[in-house]
Copies of this chain bind each other. A is one copy, B any other.
Amino acid sequence: MSAPIVHGGGITAAATALGGRPEDWLDLSTGINPCPVALPEIPARAWHRLPDRHLVDAARFAARDHYGSGEILPLPVPGTQSVIQLLPRLVGADERIAVTDDRIAVVSPTYGEYARAFTSAGFAVDAVNDVAAIGAAHRLAVVVNPNNPDGRIWPAETLVALHDRIKAANGFLVVDEAFGDTNPALSLASRAPQLSNLVIFRSFGKFFGLAGLRLGFAIAGENILERFEDWLGPWAVSGPALSLAASLLRSDVSPIHSRIEERSIGLHTALDGAGLRIAGGTALFTLVNDARASDIYTYLCQHHILVRKFDNAPDWLRFGLAPDPAADRRLGEALQRFKR
């Protein structure tokens, strides 16, 4: 068992350690849309019954149309984390006989759960910093696109070429598009039907502001999705989650885009006003590179503002979106006071 990774969202722990009521803290430690959509009505049967085929299919067809995955019906999963945990099985963790030469490549730095899942399963993980470093020794490669936390982007053509190279050695390419909703042009979803060794993960909760729901989608060839489905077992996703997906993935998402854009401008204004250097990000979070990062983190905590720091990159801080202009001002003023 490997040590758990500390993720964002630990506002209760922060409040317990540093005082204040959790609801009075400003939580900028996640990449979740801080303005959740209004919940559409959830039929009573979605709560009451085991999620049946009809409900699952409604979510899958809505996801196909929303993500543009053509003939592939995306598989609903209880958070992409649940399928990250299954990736070692996709490359045969069950069948391996003692030591293996198979290696896993993870374009890094990135979301830590990929390395954790493969290391736990006994694989050697290479943290590579460029897709060019991925080679025939790699049984599976992970690219988060856009990347978390730096927002680094890989063009579709680069990833298609990478897929073909990995596939030639019987490997798999996993592209995590958890933060892809705000940059749909980047998605490989429409190419997926032609790329048999590609697996795409999509997050539902980040863009819609419903991370508590635990819902994501896997997009891949039928033989891969059937294996995930088998490993997850029946009724892996809750009825309310499927019902909301079927409805929200068919709704007009342009107001969500506008709101995120507005919130992102508010965040950038606060960071710029404090003279912080923006090193990357997506519409849902911004990465700051500053030698004083650790002190800024502590100062903000003292003012009950939680951001995300990185043990392996001490100059980095990741700022999520604040829920409204007042919270932007609260952040901006705290940062300005720190400067003095």
Contact = CB atoms under 8 A, between A and B. Distances in A.
Interface of A: 1-2, 4-5, 7-13, 22, 27, 30, 32, 36, 39, 44-54, 78-79, 81-82, 84-85, 93-94, 97-98, 113, 117, 120-122, 205, 209-214, 226-227, 230-241
A212 B45 contact: yes
A122 B71 CA distance: 33
A32 B48 contact: yes
Given A50-B32, A54-B22, A97-B98, A212 B234 contact: no
Contact of A49 (B9, B113, B231): B9
7 contacts: A5-B234, A9-B50, A10-B52, A50-B212, A94-B94, A213-B240, A214-B238
Contacts of A227: 1
A108 to B, nearest CB: 19
A205 to B, nearest CB: 8
Contacts of A205: 50
A113 B233 contact: yes
Nearest to A89: B94
A115 B285 CA distance: 46
A10 B53 contact: yes
Nearest to A117: B233
